[in-house]
Amino acid sequence: MTKSSSVKVIYKSDGDEFFVVAVPGMTSKWRKDKTIPLIDVVQSFEVLMTPNGTSSGEAIRPSKGVLESAFNTNNVDIVVRTIVENGVEKNM
């Protein structure tokens, strides 16, 4: 079995599941040392979600309205930080 080169950091909010793609192990390192730039933790600042909060199915980009409703902001930098700070890391 080969080591995964990326993981999902999943954050659930009001039945929706949002995630970012991250470097394995960097989420926990960042949580302990927030001087690490987020760009070294996530592979991109692209927030994705799966319809109906399922872990399967095609990932889509949520609208600004959906982000605003779930995170009280549509600022992607803040949303990514919230997901990394409070989400759960899972293999892809």
For residue 74, give the CATH number of its domain: 3.30.1250.10
pLDDT digits (tens, 9 = 90+) for 24-73: 999 999 999 999 999 999 999 999 998 765 666 788 999 999 999 999 99
Split at pLDDT 50, 70, 90, the class of 92 is confident
Does residue 38 belong to any structural domain of this protein?
yes
54: Cα within 13 Å, side-chain hemisphere: 7
Split at pLDDT 50, 70, 90, the class of 1 is very low
The residue ranking higher by pLDDT, 23 or 14, is 23
pLDDT on residue 2: 47
7, two tokens: 């993981």
How distant, in Å, are the alpha carbons of 14, 18, 39, 62, 76 from that of 46?
20, 10, 11, 10, 8
Output DSSP code: residue 36. Answer: S
Paired sense of beta strands 88-91 and 48-50, if any: unpaired
43, two tokens: 């592979």
Kindly state the average pLDDT of the residues 7-26.
93
Residue 11 is part of which domain span?
7-91
